[in-house]
Every structure is written in structure tokens, then in C-alpha cells.
Structure 1
């Protein structure tokens, strides 16, 4: 794909983000309405879209995706663990701070940009399963793991309440998120031979079809309402997010032996800007909250440069 075609593909995507940004910047949307847009995408529209994409896929096609699941697990969880160790031992961060730093440098905004960017490159049907797998890895594995480590860190610093860390509860909470449980349910049903009939497909498409535009608009709104802090940690998180983890994913995909198309999907899925969800987790722990919110904005701006480069090199 040449540079001209890449920009023709990305211009509508970033135009929608810019419109959302203006809505946030000029206070048409505030933090509460921004959360509402994020909730619409992550808890309703995208899960519905993924459920249909998976349950209209053949059982054998799904089975063939085991290597993609392994790649995303090693790529995402492995990168988080590597950064956690480096942040703890080299930069001497406390455990909670190290966990929040590593989470925000790892977790991509796949739920918001994946449908539009990958869909325009491969087609909506082709990218439903890769995005669903990423959702399971992030929401059922990464977020609970980072939350557990962060809670253990606060416990060690004496900042937690007088109760033991409920690891099982945290994991179950991660699994209860629609972006984890709905794709997981769809995978199980498909492996059992279920194929969604047209009536279910048409019903869920009513909400699922709004995913792409609303998700991109929500990214812009979130960027528009946040103030940017240009601290080194914020830039560090952003560079790791849009440069380091895509390079790491190239190595993982090569070692696993993914085919070319799946390798491109895996790399692009982790090369998207940082996640607003990860920034919210940092705020909940009151650890690096300003830096992680700023890194979400900075990494979104940097992705205007990095995404076209990755696509031109990979496609």
C-alpha cells in the first residue's frame, strides 16, 4: 500500500477524532459525557459487534486462531512484566507506581481504533476475531494482573484498607467486563457449533454498527477535555506505547510463526495510542494519574506519525 492510499484510509479516521477533540476542547462534552461515550462503546456497541463477528465465523477458523491468542498473550502480558521489572529495579518505582507505568505503556486503545483502522485495511469480518482476542487478553488478563500488583503495592505501603487483597474478586471483575465476557461467550458458543441466525445478527447490528464512528469520536473528546503535562514520565510512557511494544510484537510474532496477515494485525493492534481505561485505573490508585492521562493525549498525537509509517512498512 502506497503512502497516498494510507493517508486516504487514515484521513476519515483522524478527522472523526479531531471533531471529537473540538467537542471536548470547547466544552460541548465534559468528563461525565465523555465517560458516557466510552461506556457506550466498551459495554454495548463493541461487544455486540464482536459477538456477531465471532458467531458468524466457522468453528475451524476460530480454532486456527490459537497461535494469534498465544502471540497476543506473550506480547501484551510479557511486555507488561518486562516493564514492571525494569521500572521496579532500574527506576526504583514502588510496586503500585511500577504497575501503573507498565500498564499504561502496554495497553492499547484497540477498542476505539481497531475497528476503523484494521477494518479499512482487512474488512470488518476479518478483524472481528483478532480484536475479540485482544479484548480477552487485555480485559481478562492484563487489567486484573495490573490491578492485583497495584493493590499488593499499596498493601505493602500501608495505603490499603484493613482487608486482604481479594485476588479472585479482581480476576472475576476483569472477566465480568463486557469486552472480556461477551467475546469469551461467543468463542465458547462457536466452538460448540453455534452460528448466529440472521435475526440475532440484524438485532445486534443496530447497536454494533455505531462502534467505529462513536469510538473515534470518544477518543477525540477524551483528548480534548484533558490537560497535558509534558513531564518526562508521560513522554516515556507514550514512546514505549507507540514505538517499543510494536517492535517487541514483531519479535514475538516471528518466534510464534504467525502468518504475514496476522502479524500485521498483531503489530497494529498494540501500536494504537494508550488506553483511557488504563489511565482511569491509575487514577483509581492515585498513582501517576496526571502522567498517564497526559500520555494518552501524547500517544494519540504521536500515532498520527507512527501509524502511517507502520502501515506503509507492513502492507
Structure 2
């Protein structure tokens, strides 16, 4: 059991620690980390998502309604609940509330889901990874870009009304690529093997580069701990997977799908919040610290949930 837990979590921690050490040694600076993040957001992540989603079997999606409902439904609800809590209870700005909601509602599935869930469940993990990735990038990311564009016109694109901001959101490669792949899968149009093979090389760099650059930014900005970070990590690492467990029990998911759903939501916050905070130049220390603390805490919480759901 210990080997399984370490094998699933250690690559994430190691990538971030190496980034931290490299920045401490003066090998990388903030501009270089920002450039890495831009490469991930504009190229590597969209390619990785396109390949992952295009490989899903259409019938498998249609035959997994209950499992899909838990993954998709709770991901959206947890994002919206956290945004409302942050914006209207803690009175945070639109940008900071959006980043905090993304930290909670966006487990690191697109970045490291294949490595973690693939290690635990093998090829059967593709559906969970793809459902979570599609929800994040077809539903949540357009909402995020819409909210951030309205609050950061100087860094997120042209000014204008909500239609302009929505248009800007759907121009982003990280939104467009998975949406195209999803439509191709639903319509039954096969993606040529050569295209997928060509996309894999750069796409597979997503998780490692994203966590490495997060480690660089964490070192340069110095980690902090405040009530917002602690709140985000508690909800992301403990409350969210336990709620997913309850939902899975409520819809009578088989034990395999229940375990997969719980561990999907047990993953730490995705480093995309670091990428976006760097782009809008707001909440950068908080974003990097949230990802770091969430990843460290996940060593223990995911380990516990792997053991508990294996009963």
C-alpha cells in the first residue's frame, strides 16, 4: 500500500521540489518560469487534453451516466460554492475569488491525473481523467477566463461586455482544443492516429513542466500561510473528496467507480492557478502557496483515502 501511495504522489512532489531547488541555485528566474507556464497553457496542455479526450470510447461515456454525473456535477458545484463563499462572505475581489474557486473546484487531473490515476487504475482511469478534464476545460475554464477578463482587461484581452469576454474565453487553446476533441468523440469522427501521435510528445510534458515552474515561483515569492490558503486546502483535500464519496454512495456507484471518483477529487489543486495568477499579476504568492501546501497535504490525505476506499 505504501508503495502505491508513494508511486502516485512522489512524482508531483519531486517535480515541484526540483523547481524550488533550481530557483534557489539561481538557475531560473521569474520571467523564465512565466515563459514555461505560457508554453504549458498555450501548447502543451491543449495538446495533452486533445489526445486524452479523443481517445475516449463514445459508448463508454454514454454508459457511465451516474459516474459522469458525480464527476461533472460536483466539480461545477464545488467551484460555484467556493466562488460565492469567497466573493460574498470573505468579500474578495472577482480575480482572487475566481482563483480560489478554481483551486478548490479544479483538482490537478488534467496535469497529473494520467500519472496518478493511471498508476492506481491502469487504462481504466482514462474515463475519469477525460470527464474531469472536459468539465474543467469545456465548462470551468471558459467561466474563469470570462470572470478574469472582466476584471483584468489590460492582461486578459480586449475590453467590452460579457459577450466579448465570453468570446475571448473560447479563443483560448486550453478551451478550444478539448471542446473540439469532445465534439469529435460525440459525433463518432475518428482522429487520425498520426495526429494523436504527433501531439503526444509535447503534451506529455504538461504535468512535469507545470509543477516544476510552480516550484520556481514558490521559491522566488516565498510561501505564505493565511486563512484563505488553509480554507482552500481543507476544502480541496478533505471536504471535496468526502462529499464525492457521499454522492457516489447516494447514486450507488460500484466500488471501483466509487474509489475512482473519490481519488479524482482527492488530488491537489492544479498549478493552472499559478499560471493564471502570473498572467494577471494578482494573488501569485497565494496561488503558488496553495498548490504547494495542497500537494504536501495530499501525500497524507490521498494516502488515507487510498487505504480507506480499498476496504
Q: Paired residue for 2:133? A: 135
Q: Call closer, same or farther: CA 1:287–1:216 in 2, change over 3 Å.
A: closer
Question: How far apart are residue 89 of structure 1 and its match?
Answer: 5.2
Find the partner of 1:248 among 243, 246, 249.
243
Quick check: 293-302 or 114-123, which moved more? 293-302
The residue matched to 2:269 in structure 1 has which SS?
A: coil
Distance in 2 between residues matched to 1:192 and 1:222, nearest whole Å: 41
- Structure 2 counterparts to residues 29-108 of structure 1, below 5 A: 29-88=28-87, 90-93=89-92, 97-108=96-107
CA shift at 1:100, angstroms?
4.2
Distance in 2 between residues matched to 1:309 and 1:269, nearest whole Å: 14
**Cα distance between partner residues in 1 of 2:125 and 2:173:** 18
Check 1:41–1:127 CA distance in 2 against 1; reply closer, same or farther (3 A cut).
Answer: farther
Distance in 2, Cα, partners of 1:193 & 1:143: 25
Name 2:155's counterpart in structure 1: none
* CA distance 1:69–1:223, shift in 2 (3 Å): farther
For structure 1, which runs of at least 5 residues remain unmatched after alignment?
155-162
d(CA) in 2 for partners of 1:96 and 1:13?
27
Aligned residue for 1:278?
Answer: 273
Cα contact 2:138–2:178 (8 A) shared by 1: no
Cα deviation, residue 117, structure 1 = 0.9
In the alignment, the residues of structure 1 paired with residue 108 and residue 51 of structure 2 have an alpha-carbon distance, to the nearest angstrom, of 21
1:173 is the counterpart of 2:168: yes
Q: Specify the alignment match of 2:194 in structure 1.
A: 199
For residues 85-144 of structure 1, the C-alpha deviation after alignment (integer angstroms, 9 at most, x for no partner) is 434554455666544443333333323221221121123x43344333323322332244
Distance change (3 Å), C-alpha of 1:174 and 1:115: farther
Deviations 1:154-185 (A, max 9, x none): 9xxxxxxxx98632333333333333322222
SS of residue matched to 1:228? coil
Q: 2 CA distance for matches of 1:200 and 1:285?
A: 33
* Equivalent residues of 2:87, 2:94 under 8 A apart: yes
Kindly tell me the number of residue pairs found equivalent between the two proteins. Answer: 307
- Provide closer, same or farther for how the CA distance between residues 254 and 273 of structure 1 changes in structure 2, counting only shifts above 3 A: same
Q: Secondary structure at the match of 1:39?
A: helix
- Unmatched 5+ stretches in structure 2: 153-157
The structure-2 alpha-carbon separation of the partners of 1:224 and 1:8, relative to structure 1 and needing over 3 Å to count, comes to same
Corresponding residue SS for 1:133: helix
Confirm or deny: 8 A CA contact 1:97 1:150 kept in the other structure.
Answer: no
Distance in 2 of aligned mates of 1:72 and 1:78:
10
CA separation in 1, counterparts of 2:21 and 2:292? 14
TM-score normalised by structure 1 residue count: 0.79
For residue 291 of structure 2, the aligned residue among 285, 296, 311 is: 296
Partners in 2 of 1:38 and 1:92 — Cα distance?
A: 29
CA contact (8 A) 2:44 2:203 kept: yes
Report if aligned partners of 1:115, 1:127 keep a CA contact under 8 Å in 2: yes
What CA distance in whole angstroms lies between the structure 1 residues aligned with 2:201 and 2:88? 49
Q: Which residue of 1 aligns with 2:180?
A: 185
